[in-house]
Amino acid sequence: GENVEQHPSTLSVQEGDSAVIKCTYSDSASNYFPWYKQELGKRPQLIIDIRSNVGEKKDQRIAVTLNKTAKHFSLHITETQPEDSAVYFCAAPHNQAGTALIFGKGTTLSVSS
Amino acid sequence: DGGITQSPKYLFRKEGQNVTLSCEQNLNHDAMYWYRQDPGQGLRLIYYSQIVNDFQKGDIAEGYSVSREKKESFPLTVTSAQKNPTAFYLCASSRTSGGAQYFGPGTRLLVL
């Protein structure tokens, strides 16, 4: 089945810097890769996703890139702000459980002003 | 994701007790899921349901049970067989074709 590894587990940046979080997956058949943002005590919120037929997708200050050959995808946040501080999770199709997802262990992003 | 609700927000379980967590959605999604979240870990799949009256075990189903009698509802029961139930439980839903999943606000289960 699919396996998702996420790095780093913690990331601290200064306000205005860029942040990059990387995930690798194992199943070459996986075709959908979402990113979620979770604030303390809250539900995960979908912030951006990408399908395997595109290599990059942008939405204002966030972007996701996908390298199918290397089986990794990354979240890029530019011009970070304190409100970007949260835990970020990547995910991929579980592939052995219908349309369920399998999640990375999360990256805690801290943006200091 | 405002179309998914979970209750209660906090739940306390006594030893040997079964407790049921509620999940309701009005997004007209066929697929629904239960995930468990522990500190420092990602979300782990407990059960999933692709369609009404059908559900399957996920990666950590032992000590849990579910039902899917209505499209809108997917309750999770934490049985006394689950020896370490303290966690944040998240329900989600999506279209049967997969893609974006939307989460409820979660239920935090604590053991007395």
Considering only CB atoms, B43 lies closest to which of A46, A49, A103, namely A103
> Which of A7, A43, A49 is the mutation pick for testing B, counting most B CBs within 10 A?
A43
Tens of pLDDT, residue by residue over A21-77, are 999 999 999 999 999 999 999 999 999 999 988 999 999 999 999 999 999 999 999
Contacting residues of A for B58, CB less than 8 Å apart: 97, 100
pLDDT for the residue B98:
79
Tens of pLDDT, residue by residue over B45-104, are 999 999 999 999 999 999 999 999 999 999 999 999 999 999 999 999 999 887 899 999
State how far the Cα of B90 lies from the Cα of B38, in Å rounded to an integer: 11
Chain B contact present for A54, CB below 8 A: no
State how far the Cα of A5 lies from the Cα of A3, in Å rounded to an integer: 7
Output the six-digit token pair for B45.
């799949």
pLDDT for the residue B2:
54
How far CA B41 is from CA of A89, A91, A106, in Å, comes to 10, 13, 7
Sign, CA torsion A18/A23/A24/A30: negative
Chain A contact present for B104, CB below 8 A: yes
pLDDT for the residue B1:
47
Give CA angle at B4 (A56, B38), nearest 5°: 75
SS3 content of chain A, % helix, strand, coil (to 5): 5, 55, 40
Per-residue pLDDT band at A1 (split at 50, 70, 90) = confident
pLDDT for the residue B31:
97
* Amino acid letter for position B49: S
